[in-house]
């Protein structure tokens, strides 16, 4: 498939030019494609091989769902662009590997096949007519510990999270994935109806993850997930979520009786009640930067929860609340903010009586935990996070107080997996978003 350096021209439209005296004339207008676009289906013979390679000099348009089974390997070169048609799914089964190793200058991109400006457009009926279902990876962490499902590095996933028989599917599902899998520098944007990134079971470690304009949850850690995560940015857009029926909204949800992740340097950057903020933030319940329930335990350090209308930290279940009270969970060295100071840490009265939200906030703000309550969103001092239509920049100013205060002491956070920067939140002095992320995919014209 190698054909680097060639220019491919495709007849786009015949335009009519109106003349002053000579009437109408036909003028051919061409659309220039940088790379050839190849429509592919999973039933084509070459995709039955044990090793399938997608070259970076070809744009692949998936016209069917793809499933890679045990013993197969799917390799995507740096800079590979994959366009996926509506309602299709890419599935990596246990024993298969996906190797999408992009680089900052040439990420691997999975996006919609819809025309620019129409990707992810959602009709008035909420159908999500231009969304695909997502990339779903099923690992073998329980049955075969130490088995890698491959590599995702410098990868973008856009306009996924669609419906499969009216069931919301996450844009990126990591189900029972083992820590031997390499996961870093992944951006998921405009997840339609489901989670952007869901870790379901397994013990996969991951770092440098960013979600943008998610309609559901940004990060979902469920069903016994026990991995380690660092440098996560849940970047909300005020237009999303849509005001359609659904569960509550969270930048991160941690749920399940055997779930117990360790997380450092999370930033949940909410819509800060801009004039354009979706009403769904106020009508869906619970709406919180962090939601913990279902008996889950967790460790969260060096993180920022800010910009949600009501709640930074919502505790939704007794066993989870008791685990935090007794020290089986940890919430320390974090900065928290919401617009309702009475509910910045929310504990409904029926969850862990006789304690209520005011008791929860007092507990979290015990000086021994090193947490801080930030009363005004401007005090975080981001460069320019609300220029959604041009070049949003959700990184801290050089004067931001968030550039110091981190703590990595103790057995868990002193492990080599965690890099030991001084900053709170996802991003410090070094901006790891540069080069490979894209916060304006609705305006991006690929391969032209």
Distance from C-alpha of 429 to C-alpha of 431, rounded to nearest angstrom: 6
Q: Which residue, 13, 77, 12, 5, is CA-closest to 35? A: 5
What pLDDT is stored for residue 215 in this prediction? 87
Handedness of CA 421, 211, 276, 346 (dihedral sign): negative
Chain centroid to CA 70: 27
Dihedral angle sign, alpha carbons of residues 44, 89, 78, 69: negative
Angle at 391 between CA 385 and CA 397, to 5 degrees: 40
Q: Give the pLDDT confidence score for residue 246 in this predicted structure.
A: 64
For the record, the structure tokens of 237 come out as: 């857009």
Please report the pLDDT score of residue 163 as a whole number: 66
**Angle, nearest 10°, between helix axes 318-326 and 357-364?**
30
Give Cα separations from 409 to 162, 336, 406 (angstroms): 41, 21, 10
Per domain, the residue ranges of the chain are 216-413
- Position 256 scores a pLDDT of 96
Residue 420, CA distances (Å) to 46, 298, 405, 412, 428 in order: 46, 20, 11, 12, 11
Dist. CA 20–CA 191, nearest whole Å: 49
Which residue in 325, 235, 241, 225 sits closest to 277, CA to CA? 241
CA of 191: how far to CAs of 157, 214, 298, 299, 444, in Å? Answer: 9, 5, 25, 26, 16
User: What are the pLDDT tens digits along the chain (448 aa)?
Assistant: 444 333 333 322 222 223 333 343 444 444 567 899 999 999 999 888 999 999 999 999 999 999 999 999 999 999 999 999 988 999 999 999 999 999 999 999 999 998 765 666 554 444 556 789 999 999 999 999 999 999 999 999 999 987 655 567 899 999 999 999 999 999 999 998 789 999 999 999 999 999 999 988 999 999 999 999 999 999 999 888 876 556 678 999 999 999 999 999 999 999 888 878 888 888 778 899 999 999 999 999 999 999 998 899 999 999 999 999 999 999 999 999 998 888 899 999 999 999 999 999 999 999 999 999 999 999 999 999 998 888 889 999 999 999 999 999 999 999 999 999 999 999 999 999 999 999 999 889 898 8
Is the Cα torsion angle 390, 392, 393, 397 positive or negative in sign?
A: positive
């Amino acid at each position: 498939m190698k054909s680097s350096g060639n220019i491919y021209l495709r007849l786009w439209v015949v335009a009519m030019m109106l003349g002053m005296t000579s009437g109408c004339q036909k003028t051919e207008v061409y659309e220039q494609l940088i790379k050839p676009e190849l429509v592919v289906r999973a039933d084509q013979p070459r995709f039955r091989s044990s090793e399938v390679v997608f070259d970076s000099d070809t744009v692949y348009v998936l016209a069917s769902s793809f499933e890679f089974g045990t013993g197969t390997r799917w390799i995507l070169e740096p800079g590979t662009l994959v366009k996926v048609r509506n309602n299709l799914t890419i599935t990596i089964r246990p024993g298969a590997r996906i190797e999408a190793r992009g680089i900052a200058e040439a990420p691997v991109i999975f996006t919609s096949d819809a025309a620019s400006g129409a990707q992810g457009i959602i009709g008035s009926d909420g159908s999500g007519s231009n969304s695909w279902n997502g990339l779903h990876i099923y690992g073998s962490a329980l049955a075969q510990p130490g088995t890698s499902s491959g590599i995702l590095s410098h990868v973008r996933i856009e306009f996924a999270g669609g419906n499969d028989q009216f069931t919301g599917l996450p844009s990126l599902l990591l189900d029972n994935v083992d820590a031997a899998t390499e996961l870093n520098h992944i951006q998921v944007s405009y997840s339609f109806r489901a989670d952007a990134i869901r870790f379901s079971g397994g013990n996969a470690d991951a770092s440098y993850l960013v979600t943008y304009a998610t309609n559901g949850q940004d990060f979902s850690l469920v069903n016994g997930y026990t991995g380690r995560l660092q440098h996560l940015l849940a970047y909300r857009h005020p237009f999303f979520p849509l005001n359609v029926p659904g569960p509550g909204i969270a930048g991160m949800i941690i749920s399940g009786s055997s779930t117990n992740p360790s997380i450092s340097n999370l930033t949940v950057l909410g819509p800060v009640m801009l004039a354009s903020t979706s009403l769904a933030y106020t009508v869906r319940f619970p709406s919180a930067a962090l939601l913990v329930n279902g008996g889950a335990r967790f460790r969260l350090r060096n993180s920022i929860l800010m910009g949600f209308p009501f709640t930074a930290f919502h505790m939704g279940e007794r066993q989870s609340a008791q685990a935090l009270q007794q020290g089986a969970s940890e919430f320390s060295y974090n900065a928290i903010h919401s617009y309702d100071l009475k509910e910045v840490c929310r504990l409904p009265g029926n969850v862990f009586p006789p304690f209520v939200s005011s008791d929860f906030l007092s507990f979290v703000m015990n000086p021994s935990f090193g947490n801080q309550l930030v009363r005004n969103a401007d005090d975080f001092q981001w460069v320019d996070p609300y220029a959604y239509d041009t070049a949003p920049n959700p990184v801290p100013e050089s004067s931001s107080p968030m550039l110091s205060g981190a703590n990595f002491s103790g057995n868990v956070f002193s492990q080599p997996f965690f890099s030991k920067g001084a900053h709170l939140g996802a991003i410090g002095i070094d901006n790891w978003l540069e080069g490979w992320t894209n916060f304006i995919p609705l305006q991006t014209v690929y391969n032209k």
